[in-house]
Every structure is written in C-alpha cells, then in structure tokens.
Structure 1
Amino acid sequence: MDQPLPQLDRLFDYRIPEDLRGLVRPGCRVRVRFGRRKVGGYVIDLKDTSDFDGKLLWLSELVSPQPVLTPEVARLARAVADRYAGTLTDVLRLAVPERRKKVEEEAPGEPLPLTAPPAPQWKRYIAGEAFLRALRAAKSPKAVWNALPGEDWPARLAEAAAATAAAGRGAVLVVPDQADLDRLDAALDAVLGPGRHVTLSAQLGPTKRYRAFLRAARGEVRIVAGARAAAFAPVADLGLAAIWDDGDESHVDRHAPYPHAREILLTRAELADAACLVGGHARTPQAQLLVDAEWAIPITASRREIRSAVPRIVPVGDESDMARDPSGGTARLPTVAWEAAKGALERERPVLVQVPRRGYVPAVSCQRCRARAVCPHCSGPLRLPGVRKAPVCGWCGRTAEDHRCRECGSGRVRARVIGAERTAEELAQAFVGVTVVESTGASRLDAAPAGRSVVVATPGVEPPAPDGYGAVLLLDTWALLTRAELTASEEALRRWMNAVALARPDGTAVVVADGGLAVVQALLRWDPGWFASRELAERTELGFPPAMKMAALTGPNGAPEKLAAELPPELGAEAIGPIPVDEDTERLLLRVRRRDGAGLASALARAGAERAGAKAEPVRIQIDPRAVA
C-alpha cells in the first residue's frame, strides 16, 4: 500500500470481489480502504485463504489490470528496504513510475530478434573474453572491470548486453547521468540495432518513461539502460546487471531510504542468479572488497596494453618542481602545463583543463590579513561573480558593496579559489586566437570543439573530443585532496582518471600535485586496483566503510541518541558523536562489524517504527552514508 508509516510496513490481505476475479493479477495497481480513507497499492500475491483472524475488507478498486510490479522486483524492493532500514512503500516509489492510462491502452509490440556481434576489443583485457563467453552461455559471472583510457566503454557495455540477450536473458545497465546515458543509448542502437532496447530516466518525461517501462514489463525488449532508478527495471529473466562509474555520487538516491544503485544491482544479481559487472576507469574500495572476497573477478588490461593506451602523465607540485619552474612556483599554470597545452594546440588538437569549482571566484579572503571574507548579514562565504564586481554572499545572495574585513578592517579581497569562469578568462588571455569554452553543470558541452580549442570543465562534465585531447591539465588539485571527507583521495583519483581517459594515447596529462602522494602515484602508473586495495586496507585498520557497516542518525537534539539507546546491546553498536548539524539538529554515527550490518538495519527499522507509532520526534536513518566525516 501507498502507506509510508514504518509501523505499517507489512503486507495486508483483502478479499477480491466476484466481478474482479480473473482481472486482478500479481503486480497490478489497486485501491483499498485503510482506516477512513482509500489508498493505492499493488497486488503482491493471490491466495485462496488468509491467516488473518479478523474480518477481511473488500478490495475497493482495480486501478489497472496491467502488471507493473514483477515478483522479482517485489522481492528486490523488499530486500533493498530491509538493507537500508526503509519501508517497502518508499522503495516502490523509486521503482515504479507514475501511471499513464493512455500508454497502457497502446497495443504491445513484438520483440525483435537479437544477435551478438563479435567483440574483439574485450580481448585487450585479462578475463574479458572469458566474461563474454560466459554471458553467451547464459552463465552468471561477476566481475569488476577497469577500462583503459580512450576506451569506448558504452560500446563494451552494449556488447555485454548483446551477448546476454542472445542467450535469451535480459540486461540492466546503469550509468551516472543523462550525458552518459545518451552515449550508451547510441552504442546500443549501433550494436543491437534500433528498437531492441529502451532507456529510463527522469528527463524522458512521465509519458515516454512509462512507455519505455511498459515495453520492458511486457517483454517487448530485453535490455534496459538508464540512471539509478533503472536498477529496478522490470526485465524478465535477468542475466546481467551492470553499472558504470560506481563511485559517482549520482548513483545515490536523494529520497528515502537513500539506496546506492551499485548495492541494488549487487542484491538483484544475487537474488536472480544473474551476472554482474561493476565498471569504471577507477576502482572504489567497495568494488575492491568484491574482488578480495572472491565474489567477483577483476577484468584488467596487461601492463603492455596500459602503456600503449595511457598518455604521458607528468606531476608538477613538489618543492623541487616549483623551484625549477621559471615562475618560481607562483604561477597557477606551471610552465610544464603551459608547454603541454601550447604543443597540443600547435598540432591542432584540443586541450582539456579540469578545475574543481565553477563560477568566477567562488571564495575570497582579505588581501591584508588573509582572513576568510564573510557576509556582514549572515556570515556566509563571499564570492566574486565577475571582474570589477562587488562580492556577493554565497548563502543569502546579498551584495557586499562596502565589505570590510572583520579582523583588520581592510576593504580589499583576494581569490582563495579560482573557478572555471575565471580560469577560462585567464586562458583566453594566455592563448590568443584560440577558442576557449566552458563545460560546467549549468552549461554542459556534449562534445569538445575540434582543432585549436581549450575546454575548461568542472569534474564530471568533461565533454569527449572526437579524436581525444592532445593535453589534459588537472589544476587546483588541492581543492579535491584537502576536503574533509573519508572519500577525498578516492574521489580525486576517480575524477582525474575520468579526465585523463579522454586524452589521446600520444597526448600529455599534467597533474599539478606532489608526485610522491599515493593517489598521484596511482594515476601515474594507471593502477586503480593498487590504490583501491590500499584504501580498503587503511579503512579496515581504522574501522571505516566498507570494512565496517555504519549508519547515520539525524534528528532533533537528543533524538538520535534516544533511538540508538533502544538498539539491542548484543549488536555492539559503537556510537560516534553526536555532532551538531545546526542549532536544533544533531547527527550520530553508529558503527558495527560488517557481518552485523543486516542486524543493525533491522534493529534501526524496528526502533524507527516504534518511535513513529509513539508519535515521537522523527529521526532520519541512512545506512552506509556517503559522507562519514
């Protein structure tokens, strides 16, 4: 039922009226009376008898005879709800799109024949060809794949899906965002032929999305690609669950119970006995744990293939590098980076410049005493929206026309962080006559301009170049490495590798960072497995995820502690905090052994349900929160 109260998170029995018998089927939408009102729901199962001792109510209305919740997805939704201490209703809201009656009335189509074309590029990877052979034989291999730079990864995923479908099984492919989905959509059309797959994403709009959803539910297509919600796609006889770039935060749903698409697909692969592929240029500690546990095999390239595919990567950032630089180490664009860009442009090749922040100057400080410049009204951080413009507050949006430093009274400010807009302005001045464009979240480019051009991009929205970039420059790397988060180094390497992977094999990548850092060494050697293993070992020693299971409790002051106190002592949950979120809210972390993760989720769900039933203050529960620090 569409009933979000945690204390009511269970199945309810209803009687089917005579006139609806034969029409009501498992998976269809119905309406039932619950209390004093009617609510929507799904039929999970049909039974001749009920173990309920009281009087059963009649089913009120058959909303639609079209089954939209398959038994497999229903089991998956229940498992995801249990894993994340959520409710089945919340998960089903993520899994099943809004109904469109006109779409249901459309005549279903016939499935088109599928063949698996040759896939020679998988031979570049150790165990790659064997993985595809297993898919063609309708087996269920599990693998973690690290793609080479320049790899046409959408085509490789399409080939894996084709091999699965040719064996009579279905495939679900999940990518981080719409730009990646557009590339995967085109690759699937090229490999399979048109009309043999569908895509699911919010950007399709309600009608097109529901039409694509029904095509999968009715068995018209075997392959579904999409963003995180596509992990629940109703594909029959699932044979492959695949995810690309699982470290991207877009894979985490923003709605309760905040599941991660990777974990949904791993759970689904286990329940359906399907193959699973976790792919990316980088490797997360969570993926490394799958390899270490021998649940998945690694699909990696040989060192010879890596050397032939990876561009020359040059670190510039330690004291000796800065001392040798003609600028004395004061220039934001070191000479080595400038020369790499100049050389690429002379060869009529585009240049990619990655900067961590968008905007012009997103943070400023006092010119005299270096104190952070803050808004006089709300104490929010000030930023510069453009050249010769007054500072503006990043929180309240007010303009600080007569800004004065609180520490020394000076009215002059200096840049603490340079954004993409200011970087593009600087590069346009440095490379006269060269096209300089920006690619940010607000204005993402689909592709880089050909020839003599410079693309300034923020992480995650770097557009591919037709023949690869001649040079890739990674600037302001400290902004990624010094973030107060557990995943700072992991996330920095992922973003750097995704950018460097867009370079030509004969190109140059310059990372403005100390070459002695482990994360930079992993980039130089193009060895994400080594770094992921190192990260996992450190987290195991320190007792952090994924070696341990954690939960974050957020609520009014005192409420998270009260909920934690209700947990069974045998769980051995260690409390960390609480720490204040604001004046009225606090956050408490709970840590248990990995093997007790299911017990912690179950106990938190019961405690949350009891608090809701007692109408106590609500506490938000997040299992495996992305932000631990």
Structure 2
Amino acid sequence: MSSEDEPGGGGAQGAPPEQLALIRESVRQAKAPRAKPRTWRGAALARELPVARVLVDKGVLHLDRYFDYAVPEELDAEAQPGVRVRVRFGAGRHRVQGGRREGGGLIDGFLIERRAESDYSGPLAALAQVVSPERVLDEELLGLARAVADRYAGSLADVLQLAVPPRNARAERRPSPEPLPPPPAPEAGSWARYEQGPAFLESLASGGSPRAVWNALPGPLWCEEIARAVAATLSSGRGALVVLPDGRAVARLDTALTGLLGEGRHAVLTADAGPEKRYAQWLAVRRGSVRAVIGTRAAMFAPVRDLGLVAVWDDGDDNHSEQHAPQPHAREVLLLRAAQDRCGFLLGGWSCTVEAAQLVDTGWARPLQAARERVRAAAPLVRTVGDQDVARDEAARAARLPTLAWQAVREGLRHGPVLVQVPRRGYVPRMACATCRAPARCRHCSGPLEAHGSGDLRCGWCGRTESGWHCPECGGFRLRAQVVGARRTAEELGRAFPAVPVRTSGREHVLDTVPGTPAVVVSTPGAEPVAEGGYAAALLLDGWAMLSRPDLRAGEDALRRWMGAASLVRPQPEGGTVVVVAEPTLRPVQALVRWDPAGYAVRELGERGELGFPPVSRMAAVAGPGEAVADFLRAVDLPPQAEVLGPVPMPVTPAGRPRRPGAPPPGEQWDRALVRVPPGSGAALAGALKAAQAARMARGGSTPVSVRIDPPDIG
C-alpha cells in the first residue's frame, strides 16, 4: 500500500501531526461497528440512568448497605427514587458489591437513587417489579432513618419498617384532600398561666423555633395548651408533630384540636386504626395535604412537610420506647428531628424526667414553668402516711389501709369520685413473710408465691400449689401481702362502703372517663380514667413497693406515676386531697408534697453525673448466653474510655410469661454486660457495637446476642 492509500496519506501529506491523528481517529470510528443497546437477558435497559441503587428489606447488619440493579426500559418511568420495588436477591441472581453472593428469592426494597454507572464491575440483576409508583421515601425521611439507625446501632431497613407503614392499594388510589390555608394565630388562652407561655406561642406563630421543657400544671388543660401550640405553628405556614404515650391521650388531644381548628387540619396516626385508614392518613401527610400530625410512638417518623414544631408529652412513659429493633425512644427521635429540621421542640408533662432536666441544664432548651403561687393554687393537698404511722394504726394492721386513708375516702365520697392507685393488678400478686418481709418463694423453682381468691398459695412460675410454707430466713409461718392487687383492693373498699359503686381500671379493661358522682375508682398506674370535674380525693397505696424496685429510675418513675394520678384531682382550694402511703422523708415523696418535679430531676441529674450513670454517660446493654457475650466483648473494638460492667446473670423468664425485648427465652439463662462511655463517645460506642454485631452475623453466628443502646432498665 502506498502512502497515498494510508489514512492521512495522499492529500494529507505535509499536514501537521495533530491533524494526522484526528484523521486517523475519525477513520477508525467510521469503520467500527455501532454499539448495541444495553440489555439484560435480551430486554432493553433504560437509556438514561440505567442503574438503580436499592435498599433491600433485610434487617441484618452485615447487609446494611445499598445494592445496584439494572433498570429495564419498561420500568423506566415508574422506577423513581423513593418507590417500593421487588428485586431478585440471592445466589445466581445477583452479586453484591465486592463479588460475594447472598441470600435468595424475591425481596422487597426501596429505590434510593438512579445512577448512570455502577461501582460493581460485574453483570447486574434487573429490577423485578415496581410495587407502586407512590414515592413514599424522600431524602429527609431517609436521612432521619439513617441517623436513628446509627444512634441505636441498628440497620436502616429495620428503622424504615417503623417509619413507613405497610402499603394498602385502596388507600393509594384514594385522592388526598386539598391542603387548607393556614389558620389564624390563636390567643394565648391557658398558656397565660405560665411565665413564658405567651412568648412561646408568639415565637411559633412568627416562624421561630423555640425549644422548651414544659412542666404542665395539674388538670385537664394540657390538651388545649398543646392544641394552641400546634395552631400557632400552622399559622406560620409550617407543620407540627405531637407524640403521646397512648391512645387515650391521643383521643383527648384530637378532641381539643378539632374544637380549636375544625375538621381536616390534622391527621391521627395510631396502631389502633386499621391498615387502610392509617396508610391513607400517612399518605395525606406525605403528599402535603395535612400539615399537623398527632399519634403514638409510631407517629415519630411521620413525614410532615416544612416541620416547625415537634412535641412529646410525658416522655417518661414506657410506651414511648419502641419494642422492635433497633428500639428507639420517641423523645430521642424527635430531638434528632429538631436538630435536622431546625424546628421548635416542646417536651411536656406533669412530671419531669432526668433527660428533660439535662436539656435545660445544657442550655439546649429553656424551662417553661408557672410561678409557685399558681402551682400551689392548681395542685391538690398532699398528705403522707409513713411506716411508723401504719405500725401504730390498728386499722392499717387489720385491713392494710391506714385511718387517714379511710377518712380521706369517706370525706371525698361526699363530694365526688375517689381514685385509688394500686401498683399492681390482680388479687394478691406477691406474698412475703409477715415477720421479716422476706419474699415467699416456691420450693421447687424459687418462683414467687401468689395468693388467690380461694386462699391457696400457688407459684407464679411453675403453677404448683404450696402448703405448709415457712420462712427460710426467720422460720415464721405467717404471710402478708407484699403488694395487694387492684381486684383485692376493690373488694375491700366495696365491703367498707357498700352503698358506693366501685369501678376498676387496669390492663384487661381500661376506663377512659368516669362520671362526677360519688364512686370508688381503683386503678393501676397509667390506667387512671379522667373524672368529670376532677376527683375529690386520691389514695396512692403501697408507695414502698414502687420505690424499692432495684432500678435506677425507681424514684423518678414512682414520682411520675403519683403526679399523673394526683393531677386528676381537684385543686386544693376546691377541696382536693391526695394521701400517699410512703415514707414521708424520701425524696420522691417530698417532691410530690411540694409539687416540684423539676427540682427532683435536677438533683437526680447531679447525682447521676457524679456516679457516671445515664443520661450523663451513654450506656449499652449486651445480653445473651454467657459464652456468646464473652466472645462478643472480646471481639468488639470499644472506644478507649469505655468501661465494661459485668457480665452478670439475668433473671430467668418464667414459662408462660411474655418475653420482653432483650430478655432470655423462657427457661434459658442469659448474662448481661453494660458498656459505659463518657459524654461525647456515644456515637463511637454505637458504631463499634454495630460493626462487631455485623461481623458476627457475617460469620454465621447462630447464638443470639442482643445489643441495646440506652436500655431503659439497668437495675
């Protein structure tokens, strides 16, 4: 071939080298075959952004990452970020990034983003199905879920199971209503009872983001006050979210909001609603049709647009702690949302938790309280009966109730209903030696002995009947009730006041309201019904049983439960009286008498700081069979200042009893270790525990090991 025949030859002779290179490249491209469209098993892929990054619904830590899939052309329009998809996940169908094969079969997931290329160099499996074109997951909710997963050493998939309700096709097809215009700013109303109350509302209405810890005055006006805070936020064109401990509190706030704003202004998210109704309400919030949400702990992830206020009522209630992995607390999730969205924050309750006191102590939130004169005018009179008084009281020795309590019931029944709070339900749940008060236990399994209506002693664990019991400590043969249950108390009061109706409220049957007529209402803590016009009096029985629990929060929890019941009683100027049967010198009892929950929480916070206990420090619980816990602790790379407490044996779960999260299966012996780190190291602790748990699962460890950040019970 002559030089004229070569590319760039002939007329190109004498051309600059750069021009010759361009000519050769153009000839090469002309001779090259045209690229075929990208396909997967013969099916064409999307022309733009053909890679979908998917979060598969596998709540295991070693799979807590995104996986790449190819987007078929027919799914291009519907496969948008935030939709639910189904993918082929497993050996022979999809290789995870890095080349390892996992699992098998179709699995649900969320499409996170569309990309032009994948980081994985091998062939990608294609999306099998777009379940629904509804975009249920946005960047804001995804960021919150990731922050919660990291804080609690959990997986993103587990958090999204809590955050996004199950799909309901009929609810998706139903159109959401048009959003209503912002309402006018409300008047201060009963917020004027608090020194900074009107200023708090004004800040919300003007678009501000105030953060407050609110010690609510006793009485029923707390619902109206939260409703006004929500209305003030809506008037600024922003959204509001309120999380409450139970359905009864949600129903009361629902009524208050409807009366203040009318229908259609807010959505109610609770587990009691059916799947279709709940999902329809959630979609209305997601689509922006509704800007205000109230609900139980499931509502803490509600996708409210332009969030201006998050609020939680009674954050010390156990119901705010999620029981499913990774077991987040509603208060902590709302704190993350307040920081992420830079919105207002309101933590309210009749009592005050140590965590709330810490928010004020650090300056993150401001106290929102009433003057002492208003507190004394709104609170009932609190009287105490100690152990020495009971010992000198013939009536108390015979019938367990001291004379002062009987007198309070008799006087209160002249003016209205009387509330009696009993720590436990049932007849006589626990028995003890009458001489030394040592717990009465079964000779076969060491379970607690219980007395039943027939008078027989029976083991609460194995069910065996016990006859001829004697105390192994002192040799005594007489028994007394450690804590008399609600049914037995109602029976005693019914005999003492035969002309007065006796009502009970507890786990099996919880009353919401009772009439304002004379009656005795016996209730377990947290199940107290609201009386029309308030209770005339209240008895808080067996206070020692609540205070003597081997738990760091025993005093705080007892005070919260007492104040919850006492707040339903009429104010002292109207004759309201509360009698608490507990040692009057104890700090929680004195806080109740003075009606000073914030002062008690501040002092408790100071002592926990000296001892290195939460919330000043961060703590995690690691539980499981003894050898598995020991192996886990040896493998985890803890922060330098971490301190391991234990392991120690955990109480055995009795057969037939429900298993609490993190507790051993019935009949099995587990150990538990507590890992404590100083302030500022909580994220490092969670990351280390999550990494160790993920590595353990990747190795195929079958022995269960439970990891829980911020366990509510460290006693």
Q: TM-score if structure 2 supplies the norm length?
A: 0.84
Native 8 Å contact 2:423 2:483 kept in 1: no
- Which residue does 2:187 correspond to in 1? 118
The structure, 1 or 2, with the larger RCO (C-alpha pairs under 8 Å, 6+ apart) is 1
Pick which of 470-479 and 15-24 moved more: 15-24
Q: Is the 8 A contact 1:16 1:58 kept in 2?
A: yes
Aligned-pair CA distance for 1:158: 1.4
User: How far apart in 2 are the matches of 1:468 and 1:83?
Assistant: 42
- Counterpart in 2 of 1:485? 551
CA distance in 2, matches of 1:134, 1:54: 56
Q: Which of the numbers 509, 523, 527 marks the counterpart of 1:443?
A: 509
Corresponding position: 1:400 with 2:486 = no
Given that residues 571 and 600 in structure 1 are in contact (C-alpha distance below 8 angstroms), is that contact kept between their aligned partners in structure 2? Answer: no
Displacement of 1:390: 2.4
Query: Which residues in structure 2 correspond to 1:170-569 (within 5 Å)?
Result: 170-317=239-386, 319=388, 321-322=389-390, 327=395, 332-347=400-415, 349-365=416-432, 372-375=439-442, 377-386=444-453, 388-396=454-462, 398=463, 400=465, 402=467, 404-405=469-470, 407=472, 413-505=479-571, 506=574, 507-568=576-637
The equivalent residue for 1:595 is 680
Structure 1 residue 101: deviation in Å? 1.0
Q: Deviations over 1:237-286 (max 9, x none)?
A: 11111110000011111111111110011001111111111110111111
Change (3 A) 1:268 1:369: closer
1:23 aligns with 2:78: yes
SS of the equivalent of 1:143 reads: strand
User: Deviation string for 1:584-605 (max 9, x for gaps)?
Assistant: 4211110001210000000110
Question: Does the CA contact (< 8 Å) of 2:501 and 2:520 recur in 1?
Answer: yes
Residues 124-183 of structure 1 show CA distances to partners (whole Å, capped at 9, x for unaligned) of 112211111111112111111110011421221111111111211111111111111111
1:337 deviates by 2.1
- The partner residue of 1:579 within 626, 630, 648 is 648
Deviation per CA, 1:309-351: give whole Å up to 9, x if none: 01111122153x457757487652222222222112112x111
Structure 1: distance between partners of 2:310 and 2:255: 19
1:369: how far off?
Answer: 8.1
Which segment drifts farther, 183-192 or 10-19? 10-19
Asked if 2 retains the 8 angstrom alpha-carbon contact of 1:404 and 1:411, the reply is yes
Q: Return 234-243 or 477-486, whichever deviates more.
A: 234-243
Write the letter of the residue equivalent to 2:487: E
Letter in 2 for 1:172: L
Quick one: distance in 2 between partners of 1:361 and 1:314? 26
Equivalent residues of 2:308, 2:343 under 8 A apart: yes
Structure 1: which 5+ residue stretches go unaligned?
none
**Distance across 1 between alignment mates of 2:293 and 2:214:** 20
Letter in 2 for 1:9: D
* 2:373 partner letter: R
* Contact residue 188 and residue 197 of structure 2 kept, 8 A: no
CA contact (8 A) 2:637 2:692 kept: no
**Offset from partner CA, 1:404-426 (integer Å, 9 cap, x none):** 44749998754232111111111
2:695 to 605, 610, 614: 610
Alpha-carbon displacement from aligned partner over 1:158-209 (angstroms, at most 9, x marks no partner): 1111111121111111111111111122112112211221111111122221
Deviates more, 1:57-66 or 1:75-84: 57-66
Alpha carbons 1:571, 1:599 under 8 Å: kept: no
Correspondence for 2:662: none
- Quick check: 1:114–1:196 contact (8 Å CA) kept in 2? no
- C-alpha root-mean-square deviation of aligned residues, in Å? 2.1
The match for 2:60 is 5
CA positional deviation for 1:32 = 1.5
Question: Does 1:131 find its partner at 2:200?
Answer: yes
For residue 577 of structure 2, give the secondary structure of its aligned residue in structure 1. strand
Secondary structure, aligned partner of 1:66: coil
Question: How big is the shift at 1:72?
Answer: 1.3
Counterpart for residue 76 of structure 1: 144
Cα distance in 2 between the residues matched to 1:10 and 1:292: 38
Question: Structure 1 residue 395: deviation in Å?
Answer: 2.2
Which digits, 9 at most, give the CA deviation of each residue in 1:551-577, with x for residues without a partner? 000112122222222333543211101
Which moves more between the two structures, 419-428 or 329-338?
329-338
- Which residue of the partner structure matches residue 3 of structure 2? none
8 Å CA contact 2:182, 2:236 repeated in 1 = no
User: Structure 2 counterpart of 1:40, which letter?
Assistant: D
SS in 2 for 1:276: strand
1:62 equivalent in structure 2: 130
Structure 2: which 5+ residue stretches go unaligned?
A: 1-55, 91-103, 653-667
Give the AA of the match of 1:6: L
CA distance in 2, matches of 1:409, 1:70: 67
* Cα pair distance change 1:328/1:467, threshold 3 Å: closer
Q: Is residue 553–residue 619 contact of structure 1 (8 Å, CA) maintained in 2?
A: yes
Take 2:675 and 2:644, find their aligned partners in 1: how far apart are those partners?
5
What is the identity percentage for the equivalent residue pairs of Structure 1 and Structure 2? 51
Question: What residue in structure 2 maps to residue 86 of structure 1?
Answer: 154
**Offset of residue 376 of structure 1:** 5.2
How many residue pairs get matched?
A: 625
Letter in 1 for 2:670: T
Q: Cα deviations across residues 507-554 of structure 1 (Å, max 9, x unaligned)? A: 111111222211111111111111000111111111100010000001
Question: What is the DSSP-based 3-state SS (H/G/I as helix, E as strand, rest coil) of the residue aligned with 1:203?
Answer: coil
Q: Which residue of 1 aligns with 2:210?
A: 141
C-alpha deviation, 1:362, in angstroms: 0.5
Higher alpha-carbon deviation: 592-601 or 145-154: 145-154
Query: Are the structure 2 counterparts of residues 508 and 366 from structure 1 closer, same or farther at C-alpha, using a change threshold of 3 Å?
Result: closer
CA shift, 1:391, in A, is 2.8
Aligned mates of 1:295, 1:410 — CA distance in 2 = 56
Distance 1:571 1:619 in 2: 23
2:225 maps to 1:156: yes
Aligned to 1:278, the other structure's residue is in SS state strand
